[in-house]
Amino acid sequence: MTRSAIPRRHHRLPLPLVVLAAAVTAAAPAAPARAAAPATMTVATSARPDGESLRGGRQFVVRLKEAPTAIRPAGNADAYRKHLSGVLSAVLEDAGARTRQTYSTIFNGFSATLTGTQAAELAADHRVAAVTPVQVLHTEAPGTEPARPAAPQPGGGAGTIVAMIGTGIWPESPSFAGNRPAPTGWHGTCQAGDGFPASTCTGNAVLGARHFADTWLADGGSLPDGEILSARDMDGHGTYTASVAAGVPVEHSVVLGRDLGPVAGVAPAARIAVYKAFWGGMGYDADVLAALDAAVADGVGVIALAGRVPGEGSAVGTALRNADQAGVLVIEAARAADGAVAGRAAVLRSRHPAWSPGAVTAALRTTTTTTTGGGGDGS
């Protein structure tokens, strides 16, 4: 079988993270060496990872008080969506602000570059629940040991879509070879970008892909060194996480010339939807919110989030709580190895579609950890 080639993280990030998904553990290797980038890519050479506009002001996430559409009150969905849009427009107009991104599915609000006066006025607005400066989430640098993921489940995850919110994907990897049926209820798309034509999501496990970098690019900023504006993974974290979650069996996983042997995803029948919101191993919560909002609207069943959640009361924490209420399970996957947890979640959701996120989480916590060749599927 063809040897896999996955791009390699180009620098190590600080702040190792303790992940929620440690309920089911697995060790992971470092991401394999970076594959050659298509010649059409434009690679970034500078960035401002502080959330500060180059034209003055600072970027904020603003949460409005009313519930987002996924957990809306009973009634007409279209009418409620229009109502939220009208309130948001009125809030912006009264503050004299212009939004960069708006959210409505699992988070009701927007991000914007604001002056101190505008931020204070919004915080005092009776329609506003919170005004917070943008925060940064980090992935964790991959380890160096051979993979020992939970045992692959033949046919596992069929009919389930696993959203990978992270550093993107290298869809040409043999781990994603072979087309799989598209589950019902999918509303997403394959967004074209630098070195990533819309046809990239054809004939492989990748069902759709989008990228979110508005906060990075605000007011003349740029992406981190070595990044490109598309869903293509220039880091390695996202590709490896996806392969451990839902990749097909590969006989040889080669990392920096070292053959680590066979690797297979836990849920090889699941489809993968990619939402790149992490650039150079880090992502702003404003962009992560946009990715989360889009993933739930697109119809995914499981989300693997490549970053430690700042806290339950944070903007991202609020969105995750709402996603849970909307029936979407989110796995914190700062480590690439935690893709195995997302894969197990996809298997459980496929076999028990009526289970709530809480029921799946309980099953993940009580299932005995398995390794390749081990037994048990948690069902």
Query: How do the domains of the chain map onto residue ranges?
Result: 20-32+138-366, 58-133
- Interior CA angle at 14 toward 13 and 20, to 5°? 95
Distance in angstroms (rounded) separating the CA atoms of residues 130 and 315? 9
Contacts of 235 (CB under 8 A, 6+ apart): 7, 9, 10, 31, 139, 167, 168, 278, 280, 281
User: Count of CB atoms within 10 A of residue 313's CB?
Assistant: 10
Beta strands in 235-364 (DSSP E): 254-255, 258-259, 271-276, 282-284, 302-305, 329-332
> Is the CB of residue 24 less than 8 Å from the CB of residue 369?
yes
> Is the CB of residue 109 less than 8 Å from the CB of residue 64?
yes
Distance in angstroms (rounded) separating the CA atoms of residues 126 and 17? 36
What length is written for the chain? 379
> Is the CB of residue 231 less than 8 Å from the CB of residue 169?
yes
SS (H, E, C) 79-105: HHHHHHHHHHHHHHHHHCCCEEEEECC
- β-pair partners for 103: 109
User: Count of CB atoms within 10 A of residue 91's CB?
Assistant: 20
> Is the CB of residue 292 less than 8 Å from the CB of residue 165?
yes
> Is the CB of residue 290 less than 8 Å from the CB of residue 100?
no
Query: Quick one: DSSP state of residue 222?
Result: -
Scan for tokens 């390699």, then name that residue: 8
Strand, coil or helix: what is 221? coil
Distance in angstroms (rounded) separating the CA atoms of residues 74 and 3? 52
Contacts of 374 (CB under 8 A, 6+ apart): 150, 151
> Is the CB of residue 241 less than 8 Å from the CB of residue 164?
yes
Fold of 58-133: Alpha-Beta Plaits (3.30.70)
> Is the CB of residue 365 less than 8 Å from the CB of residue 350?
no
- Report pLDDT for 237: 87
- β-pair partners for 331: 304
**CATH code for the part of the protein at 20-32+138-366:** 3.40.50.200
Q: Phi and psi for 82 in degrees, rounded to 5?
A: -65, -35
| Structure-token pair, residue 12 | 């190590």
Summarised one tens digit per residue, pLDDT across range 292-343 is 999 999 999 999 999 888 877 899 999 999 999 999 999 998 887 788 999 9
Distance in angstroms (rounded) separating the CA atoms of residues 166 and 274? 8
pTM recorded for the entire structure: 0.83
Sign (positive/negative) of CA torsion 295, 300, 305, 311? Answer: positive
| Structure-token pair, residue 276 | 């790149």
Helix ranges (H only) for 56-152 are 77-95, 116-124
Q: Per-residue confidence of the chain (379 residues) as pLDDT tens digits? A: 444 444 444 333 222 222 233 332 233 333 334 444 443 444 443 445 555 544 456 999 999 999 999 998 887 889 999 999 999 999 999 999 999 999 999 999 999 999 999 999 999 999 999 999 999 998 876 544 444 555 677 788 999 999 999 999 999 888 899 888 888 899 999 999 999 999 999 989 999 999 999 998 885 678 988 999 999 999 888 988 898 899 988 887 654 345 555 778 999 999 999 999 999 889 999 999 999 999 999 999 999 999 888 877 899 999 999 999 999 999 998 887 788 999 999 999 999 999 999 999 999 988 644 333 333 444 5
Summarised one tens digit per residue, pLDDT across range 255-279 is 434 555 577 899 999 999 999 999 9
- Report pLDDT for 337: 76
